[in-house]
A and B are shown apart, each in its own frame.
Chain A
Amino acid sequence: MPKIIVNVMLKDEILDPQGAAVAAAMARLGFDFAKSVRQGKRFEITCQEKPTQADLESARSAASGLLANLVIEDFTITVEE
């Protein structure tokens, strides 16, 4: 079934201590390619049918009112068939 994917990330200017801890662990484990890590959230919303434009607008208002706090976070919305 199709899914609406909402990815939520802390804004760039907000300190992400969890991401920093992951980056430190990667460095300890020898994953030298990693310069820094930011950690976010992914929401998979399964839909009955292929989401319409109106569904995507609703998803956008759910993301801005509930899934993300726009004071500290940004989000993106995509659809997976």
Chain B
Amino acid sequence: MKNIFSSIDPKSSKTTSRSQILFWLVVLLFVIVVFSVFLGRYPTPGLISFEKLQSDPLAQKLVLNIRLPRILAALLLGASLAAAGGVFQMIFSNPLVDPGFLGVSQGAAFGAAFCIIFLGGAAWVTQLSAGFFGCLGLVLSYLIARKVRYGGWVLRLVLAGIAVSAFFSAGLGILKYIADPLSQLQEITFWLLGGLWSTTWKKVLTILPVVLVSLFVMWKMRWRLNLLSLGDETAFSLGLAPGRERTILLIAGVAATSAVISVAGMVSWIGLIIPHIARRIFGADSRYMIPASILIGAIFSILCDDLGRVLVSSEIPLGIITSLIGAGIFAYIMITQKVPTQK
């Protein structure tokens, strides 16, 4: 790749440099993970020293059993939401879409609350329930959009998504109303704020297979994803089975999203803004955009979680921090860059 580019156009070794940036993002992610392991409020805000970690058994326990799974969860959360957001934006040819727009997030939230109240709220059941209702949200949005007889496909999907999301929010309201205020309601409320304070190894390991497989599918199919962003007749003429391949990618996106949501609750904005940032640095080509979204999403999410647990002693829910920063970045992107949308 390198030779071709440099021999034909000496001024651009764009492909090489993009791979290099990706490599440095991997390094950065690694550094941030290590940094975050040492960062915390034990006993005072700041970094734990090496000596303390070697001598203090409680510090070791804290790092191994609480911080490490939590950081890993933050990594999976950011990677999944950003990758799924990137996939959704490409598939719907619209840079303003993320799983939250199509009833997936609200559906998953409803599913989790439903599980907390009626099914006992065990980790894997919550995940399954959130996943099921997340998919249901997407399917409902899709079916309703197909029945709408006006507007472009994306407009129809977004309108249908709004209706489905509102439907699930109402359902969630009912569930909150009937929930036991002393136990269940608290659990639901914390879950809706989004946060990773209750992360355990068990929870992380439960979602790990689903997340890894989904990320792998999205990463592997990223070249095909480029074609799916162009419209079905073009994708077909270039040898794809657009319906089938789109379904596989959507399922991967919804599965990853629902899995991390079941652990972290509602953490918004990552799926919308991270792909934008990735595209700004790497261009639209999913060969780079998807891995970049995964890496930048993971970094962003870990840093936000670091802020949440270090800034104040009682901890700020992650969902609040990502919304705060995400909305700011989103406004900045909209002001400084033309967000191209035609449908």
Are the chains A and B members of one assembly? no
Interface residues of B (CB under 8 A from A): none
